[in-house]
Every structure is written in C-alpha cells, then in structure tokens.
Amino acid sequence: MTLKNLRPLVVALGTLAIVAACGGGGGGGTTAKETLTIGGFNFSESSILADMYGQALKAKGYTIAYKLNLGSREVVAPALKTGQVDLYPGYAATELEFFNNKKGEAGGDPQANVTKLNTYLSAFGAEALTPSPASDENAFAVTKALATKDNLVKISDLKPVASQLVLGGPPECPTRPYCELGLKSVYGLTFKDFKSLDAGGSLTKGALEKGDIDVGLVFSSDGAVAAKNFVVLQDDKQLEAADNIVPLIRTNKANSEVTSLLNSIDAKLTLVDLTAMNKSADIDKEDPATLATNWLKQHGFSATT
Amino acid sequence: MNLFLDATDPWIRVSYLQNHAADFEADLAEHVELTLIAVLVGLLIALPLGVLIYRRRGLRNPVLGVTGVLYSIPSLALFAFLIPYTGLTYVTAEIGLVGYTILILVRNTVVGLEAVPADVRDAARGMGYRPLKQLLWVELPLALPSIFAGVRIATVTTIGLVTVTALIGEGGLGRLILEGLIRDFKTPLVVGTVLSILLAAVADLGLAGIQRLVMPWSR
Amino acid sequence: MSFLVKVSAWFLDPVHWQGSAGVPNRLLEHVLMAGAATLVAALIALPIGIALGHFGRGGNAAINISNVGRAIPSFAVLVLAFEVVGIGAPPAFIALTLLAIPPIVTNSYVGVKEVDPDVKDAARGMGMRERKILFAVELPLAVPLIMAGIRTSAVQVVATATLAALVAWGGLGRYIIDGFAQQDYVQMFAGAVLVAALAVATELALGAVEFMLVPRGLRESGAAPAGPPQAKAA
C-alpha cells in the first residue's frame, strides 16, 4: 500500500534527479554532428567492436554514448527498436533469425542474409549495413579428454552419447535456433541437462574445464579455446549460418559519412584479427577499448576514446 | 591453481587502475547519487508516515509488522517485480532502494517518537502547545537520535544494495563487480569492493560526526 | 492485468513443477543451501559470540563485526568467492556462510553480555559454578537475541542465495536470472514471487521459533530485549 502511493512522487523526484544529473553532462557541444548511443552484447568481442565503431566516429566529431555489456540480443534488439540504442555490432544470420521470429531464412550467404534482414529492420526505422568478411558463429566445444574418449570430431558424433552429457551455454540457449533448439532440430540431440552460464564467456569455459558441463557453447572467434585445449566440434550439418559482423543502425543516424566509415572498418576486419583481440581481452584481460584503439590506428583510422 | 600469485590475473593490475581512474570516479559518483536520492526520498516519505502511525495507535503493530516482513524480501526479487512495469531504468532502481530505506526509517521514527517520555509530552501540553507545535518542537527533536540512527543504517544498507542494481543496468560501483564476474577479472572486482566498503565507512563516520555536532547530548 | 494472468498460468503449468528445472527441485536446492550455510555459520559464530559475551571481552570487535559486515556488499562477497573457488555450489556456500556469521556473533555476544548482572550474582550466590551459570542462566535468557541473530542471518542467506544463480548455481534465483536474460518477464516475475515467499516464510517461521523459545517468565513479563537492528545486504 505504501509503495503504490509513493510511485508518482518517486518517479517525479527521480526524473528531477536524472534531469539534473544529465543537464550538467550530456548537453553536448555546439557541433552540428549527431549523438549516437552504441550498444553491445555481454561478451568482450561485442565491446571491442562497439568501441571500434565509437572511437572512429568520435574522431570524426560525433558525440558517442556507450551502453556496453547491456545483455543478450533479447535486451539489445528491443533497445534498437525503441531508439534507446542507435547502433550495435550484429551478426548477420543470428540477427535475421531473431527479427524474423526463427523462420529459418538464414543461409550461408552473408549478403543474402543482410538483404532479408533489412526487410524486417526497415519496419521500425533501422537498417543493416555491409557485412564484414569476418564472422563469428556459435560453436560447440568439448574437452580434449572427452573428445578422445567418445571419439568426437563433429557435432553428429554426439548423437549416441548426448543423453549422458550436460550442455552449457547462455540462459537464452534453449530457445535459440543456433543453440540448443537447433541442436535438437538439425542434429536430433537431446542432452541430459542444460546449465545456464554465459555466452561463451568465462563461466562456460570454466565449467567445461572443471567438468561441470560436457559440451559448451563457445564462439568461433574465441581466442581462449586453443589455449585451453578444447576441441571445437565441426558443424557437419551446417547448423550455424553465416554470422558475419554487420552494424545495425537506426536509419535517422545513418548519414553517408557514418555508413561509409562503419563499412570501411568492417571491410578490413578479419577473423584472425578478431581471434587475436578476443584472446587479449579474455585471457590477458586487456581493455576492449585499448584493443579497439590499437586496431583502428594499425588500419589507418583515427580513434578518439 | 595459485590463487594469490596468478600471473595473468593478479588481484590488482596496476595498468588497469591507471587506465580507468576516470571510470572509477564516474561509478563512485553514480553510487553516491543513487544512495543520496534513496535516503532523502525515503526520509521525506518515512517521517510523515511515521508520525501518522505514531498518532494512530491502532496502525502501529500491523504496519510495523508488515514493514518487517517486506524488509525480508530480497532486492533482486523486488527489482524483478518492478521491471515489467517500470523497465530497466534508474527509476526502477530508485523505487526499490527507496522502498527499503522507508522500511528502516519508518520503524526508527515510530520507535523514536514512542520513546519521548510521557511527562515531557504532558508538560508541553500543559504549557499550551498545540499538537503540531508539540510535534515539531518537542517530540521530533527528542526522537532525532533514533531517526538519525535509522538514517545511518539506511545509508550503509543502501550503499550495499546499490551494487545489486548493476544487474539491471544501473549500479555505481556494482558495475565494477559485475565486470569482474563477466570477464573473470579480479582487478575491477577488488576496486569495486574496496571503494564500496570505504564509501560505507566514510558515510557512517561522517553521519556519526554530524550527529555529534547536531545532537551533542546523544551518543 | 494480463501480465499477472500469464504469471498465474506459469504457476499452473505442470511443466514448471517437474525435473531439475522445476519449482520443487529449485526450492529444495535453495532451502538446503540456505539451511546448511546458516547452520555452519551458527556453529562457528555461536561459540565465539557466547564466549565473548560470557567473559565480557572483545565487545567492540563483536559489535563492530556486524557494522563491518553490513558495509560489505554481499554481491561482492559472492563474486570474490567465485574468483577463488570457481562456479556452482562451492562459492555460493562459502559466500553465504561468511555473510551469515556477523549477525550471529553480534547478537549472541549482546544477548549473553546483557543478562542482568544481578541475576548472575544471585546465581553465584546460590553456589552455581561458572559453566552452570552459562548454560542454566545466561543462555536461556540470551535465547531471544540469539534467535533474532539467527533469523537475521537466515533471511540474508535466502536473499543472497538468489544472487548465487549468477555463478551458475541453481536455486530459485535461477528463474529471475534466466528470465531476465531471455527477456521472459513472466518467468522472472514468477521467480521473484517464489523467492519473496520463501524469504517471508523464513522470517515468519523463525520469528515464531524465537517467540516460542523465549522463557515463559520473560515472555509474560514483556521484558524480552530488542536486539541490534536487522541487516540487509541483498
């Protein structure tokens, strides 16, 4: 009873506080260039990419706000829809299957994926730009010991033993076509149990190492996998479609300078670069922002943090 | 695994400290702001509410009983109740935080007012004090030590709870703790924890100092 | 209103009551973990607090441990435990036990220390030995405060166990964390209902135990003392 009466007052006071707090900081300068809010998923590769986009744009005079480690796509995509976020680094096939409600349209051609994706994004004033040659798909890894014991080289090899194995991945994995849902429909795998961890991050890799899970979701650009002696199972039935990196941006912020800058960054991005940066961030605990700055400068872009 | 001399992830990585000093400041400022608003708004609501309950004896036990029970609700659950209605916003965080400060401060206000000796109240009435004047000039000042104690507890408690708001996108110093979890990275975790504890200590000592200045007769 | 209807539907769906992800299992996990942590914390904290209170020593430390404990965010303790021992039940258990210790130390210290010195005098006058005084006089009179401390700890442990889902443990917090990650607000809200219900039930049940353990004479005279204020860290 108490809280209900308070809400209008708290909302009013809270709003006042926010306005007061923001009034000092976010007013922006006298430049005519836009402000962009860049969002990122809750894994380091996303932070690195978001930093790359943001620092390059800032060097051209744009005002950048970051909302990094926002969460999974379930959190970030609605933020793009409502305009809370103007730009985020997406993955072509997974974005498509998310916005089309898992229709199963994504394939191995990144440009085709992006074209279809745009038909959905335009409905709420957003668009996807040109996909990068670099891609990062979901992958499934086991420890070397398990791979040897059960003779596991490709995902299909899991079929006879899956019912005794525990799968680990991000909380959204059971509902994702490129995760547990797809493993069931494409490979016919039913696991003994699913453990809710993170998106190919330290919780999942730690659990795999310790044996709390047997099969873990990792990313194909993960730099730690080799270092930890995991075996990534081959996707022999092509479950994972072309998840090339592509910026998703609200159309009203996508002027020609912004789009050409973002496209030229993505054009120069390679899987080798991504894997190396991911390793630095995940194992060496380097700052995503620093890695982004270094990459930009090495590839001829200006960067402002 | 050597926990304390881990080469790749030492408990304090100095370069991280140097690169992120500005972030620490920003997180600290956000933490202070979240706490301040929660305590002040809580006080604004709890004081009149406490007076009301003190005046209506019938409300006393039921209301304090209910507030005691509500206090046991975990903060993550409270935020989970609010999010479908108020979203992942600053306001959601504040509503939750204010809820808990109110629960503490109402109880302390009521207990403090009740502790005013009956003879003092009698004397005030005898001197012709009307109820409002009696409240403002006699009862509340005498209840101040208890109310102040409540403010101290509410402040320290809120500083701890603010870290949980990192899970809904706010967080102050909780952002550093969350980063430590997500990236399996010790340094931000240590910084977030230490600064949080220091903030609580400084706030508590500061409030104790103010209490001694304003109410030298109370301990 | 339709959102709350969906939440009710979640509870009525039998799928949510079966298997390792079902409500009974998660509830059991949560209760067992909370119970174990509180029990172990009591086993550690009670002797310390009671001894300090009986001998009248270390008072400042015993009281300040709770103030310090209140200043340490329980979220941080959990993640620190994760950094040291990894994921799952171990860091959850360690963090919860550590968090449960301060309120029990403080309350048992104050409970034993504040026993009326006249009563202790009378007991000594009656020829009681020190140990008999402790067990026959001080402890029974200290029970209300000790139970209050255990109650505070138990509620705090139930709350922090909710957060332990973040380090890949189970418990009722799993519904909140997973529901949030999947943006399935129905699951998240249902989890919150379960967690809140468990916390409130713990508070009420232990409050009742506390009430029943107060020695009859004390209860009837209304002289049962109130303890230091409740902590809340999660």
Q: What is the pLDDT of residues C71-91, one digit of tens each?
A: 899 999 999 999 898 888 999
Beta strand A63-71 with A35-41: parallel, antiparallel or unpaired? parallel
Quick one: tokens of A79? 């933020």
Tokens describing residue C138: 């001080």
Q: In the prediction, which pLDDT does C223 show?
A: 47
Mutate to test the interface with B, among A4, A5, A6 (most CBs of B within 10 A): A6
Q: Which of these, C167, A91, C200, lies nearest to B167 by C-alpha position?
A: C167
Cβ contact C159–B193 (<8 Å): no
Position C30 scores a pLDDT of 97
How far apart (Å, rounded) are the C-alpha atoms in residues C176 and C178? 6
Shortest CA gap C123–chain B (Å)? 32
Average pLDDT over residues A61-70: 89
Residue A141, H or E segment = strand A138-143
Residue A25: pLDDT band by 50, 70, 90 thresholds?
A: very low
Exposed (0-12), middle (13-18) or buried (19+): which is A231, by Cβ within 10 Å? Answer: middle
Report, as an integer, the average pLDDT of A137-158: 93
* CB distance C143 to C111 below 8 Å: yes
Burial readout B153-179 (b: 16 or more C-beta within 10 A, e: otherwise): bbbbbbbbbbbbbbbbbbbbbbbbbbb
- Show residues of chain C in contact with A175, CB under 8 Å: 182
> Across all residues in chain B, what is the average pLDDT?
89
Which residues in A lie closer than 8 A to residue C167 (C-beta atoms)? 203
End-to-end CA, chain A: 47
Q: How far apart are CA A147 and CA A168, in angstroms?
A: 16
The residue of chain C nearest to residue B5, with distances taken between CA atoms, is C84
Domain ranges of chain C: 3-221
CATH assignment, C3-221: 1.10.3720.10
B100 to chain C, minimum CA–CA distance in Å? 9
Supply angle C-alpha B75, B78, B79, rounded to 5.
90
User: Rounded to the nearest 5 degrees, what angle is found at the Cα of C188, between the Cα atoms of B79 and A162?
Assistant: 140
* B184 with A14: Cβ contact below 8 A: no
Structure tokens at A64: 């950048």
Q: Report whether C183 contacts A74 (CB < 8 A).
A: yes
H/E stretch holding B104 reads helix B90-114
- Hey, are the CB atoms on B76 and C162 less than 8 Å from each other? yes
Question: Of the ranges A1-15, A227-241, C155-169, which one carries the lowest mean pLDDT score?
Answer: A1-15
Q: How many CA atoms lie within 13 A of C160 on its CB side?
A: 36
Q: How confident is the model at residue B136 (pLDDT cuts 50, 70, 90)?
A: confident
A172 touches chain C (CB under 8 A): yes
Radius of gyration in angstroms for the set of CA atoms belonging to chain C, rounded to a whole number: 21
Query: Given this model, what pLDDT does residue B101 score?
Result: 94
Which is it for strands A245-250 and A215-219: parallel, antiparallel or unpaired? unpaired
| Token digits of residue B37 | 């608003």
Cβ contact (<8 Å) for A14 and B33? no
The yes-or-no verdict on residue B5 having pLDDT over 50 is no
Q: Is the pLDDT score of B8 beyond 80? A: no
Hey, of C18, C25, C79, C87, which one would you mutate to test binding to chain A, going by the most A CBs within 10 A of its CB? C87
pLDDT at A47: 93
| Chain A residue numbers touching C178 (CB-CB < 8 A) | 171, 196
> Quick one: pLDDT band at residue C219, thresholds 50, 70, 90?
low
Determine whether the interchain pair A6/B184 forms a contact, defined as Cβ–Cβ distance below 8 Å: no
Q: Do B49 and A2 make contact, defined as CB atoms within 8 angstroms?
A: yes
- Predicted local confidence at residue C144, as pLDDT: 87
Instruction: Give the integer Cα–Cα distance in Å for A70 and A47.
Output: 10
Nearest C-alpha neighbor of C172 from the set C5, C73, C41, C24: C24
Taking an 8 Å cut-off on Cβ atoms, the answer to whether B102 and A6 are in contact is: yes
Q: What is the pLDDT of residue C224?
A: 46
pLDDT at C113 over 90: no
A136's tokens:
């990062």
Give the percent of chain A with pLDDT over 70. 90
The DSSP annotation for A39-74 comes to EEESSHHHHHHHHHHHHHHHHTT-EEEEEEEEESHH
Give the closest residue to C94 by CA, choosing from C20, C152, C41, C165: C41
Q: DSSP class of residue B39?
A: H
CB contact under 8 A, A285 and B99: no
Q: What is the pLDDT of residue A191?
A: 94
Residue of B nearest to C157 (CA): B74
Neighbouring CB atoms inside 10 A of A30's CB total 4
* C155 chain-B contacts, CB cut-off 8 A: 72
pLDDT greater than 90 at residue B191 = yes
Please tell me the predicted confidence (pLDDT) of residue C124.
84
Higher pLDDT, C41 or C145: C41
The DSSP code sequence of chain C is: -HHHHHHHHHHH-GGGGSSTTSHHHHHHHHHHHHHHHHHHHHHHHHHHHHHHHHHT--HHHHHHHHHHHHHS-HHHHHHHHHHHH-SSHHHHHHHHHHHHHHHHHHHHHHHHHTS-HHHHHHHHHTT--HHHIIIIIIHHHHHHHHHHHHHHHHHHHHHHHHHGGGGT--STHHHHHHHHHTT-HHHHHHHHHHHHHHHHHHHHHHHHHHHHHS-HHHHHHT-PPP-SPPP---
**Cβ of B111 under 8 Å from any chain A Cβ?**
no
Look at residue A9 in the predicted model and tell me its pLDDT.
58
Q: Is the pLDDT of residue C228 over 80?
A: no
Do residue A202 and residue B183 have CB atoms under 8 angstroms apart? yes
| pLDDT at A21 exceeding the cut of 60 | no
**Coil, helix or strand at residue A206:** helix
Helices (H), chain A: 2-25, 44-59, 73-82, 92-99, 110-121, 144-150, 180-187, 202-210, 224-227, 256-268, 271-282, 288-298
Domains and CATH numbers, chain B: 21-213 (1.10.3720.10)
Residues of A in contact with B190 (CB under 8 A): none
Which residues in chain B touch residue A10, judged by CB atoms under 8 angstroms apart? Answer: 41, 91, 94-95, 98
Chain B residues with CB inside 8 Å of A43's CB?
182
> Is A283 part of the contact surface with chain B (CB cutoff 8 Å)?
yes
Q: Is the pLDDT of residue B135 over 90?
A: no
Is it the case that residue B73 has pLDDT exceeding 90? yes
Rounded Cα–Cα distance for residues A236 and A189 (Å): 14
- Whole-angstrom distance, CA of residue A297 vs CA of residue C184: 41
- What average pLDDT does the segment B53-65 reach? 88
Q: A199: nearest CA in chain C?
A: C181
How many angstroms separate the CA of residue B202 from the nearest CA in chain C? 10
The dihedrals phi and psi of A199, each to the nearest 5 degrees, come to: -85, 85
Distance, CA of C98 to CA of C78 (rounded, Å): 10
Distance from CA of C87 to the nearest CA of A (A): 7
How far off is chain C from B156, nearest CA to CA, in Å?
A: 6
Q: Mean pLDDT, chain A, as a whole number?
A: 87
pLDDT, mean over chain C = 88
Helix (H), strand (E) at residue B189: helix B186-214
Question: Taking 50 as the threshold, does the pLDDT of residue B2 lie above it?
Answer: no
- pLDDT (0 to 100) of residue C23: 95
* pLDDT tens digits along A175-219: 888 999 999 999 999 999 898 888 888 889 888 988 889 999 999
Give the gyration radius of chain B's Cα atoms.
21
**Percent over 90 (pLDDT), chain B:** 55
Share of chain A above pLDDT 90, in %: 61
**b/e sequence C157-184, b meaning 16+ C-beta within 10 Å:** bbbbbbbbbbbbbbbbbbbbbbbbbbbb
Could you give the CA distance from residue C111 to residue C227 in angstroms, rounded to a whole number? Answer: 8
User: CA A200, CA B160: separation in Å to the nearest integer?
Assistant: 29
What lies within 8 Å, CB to CB, of A84 at 6+ separation is A37, A39, A67
Under 8 Å between Cβ of A144 and A230: yes
Q: Using alpha carbons only, what angle is made at residue A265 by residues A261 and A269, rounded to the nearest 5 degrees?
A: 170
Complex confidence, ipTM? 0.88
pLDDT at A6 over 60: no
CA angle B26, B31, B32 (to 5 degrees): 100
Tell me which chain B residues have a C-beta less than 8 angstroms from the C-beta of A39.
none
User: What tokens were used for A248?
Assistant: 């998703």
Shortest CA distance to A205 belongs to which of A191, A224, A231, A232? Answer: A224
Q: What is the pLDDT of residue A259?
A: 95
**Is the minimum CB–CB distance between B25 and chain A shorter than 8 Å?**
no
On the question of pLDDT at A12 being above 60, the answer is no
d(CA A270, CA A134): 5
Find which of A1, A2, A68 to mutate to test the B interface (most B CBs within 10 Å of its CB): A2
pLDDT digits (tens, 9 = 90+) for C19-65: 888 999 999 999 999 999 999 999 999 999 998 988 888 888 888 88
Q: Which residues of A touch C174 (CB under 8 A)?
A: 196
Neighbouring C-beta atoms of residue A211, cutoff 10 Å: 11
CB contact under 8 A, C200 and B84: no
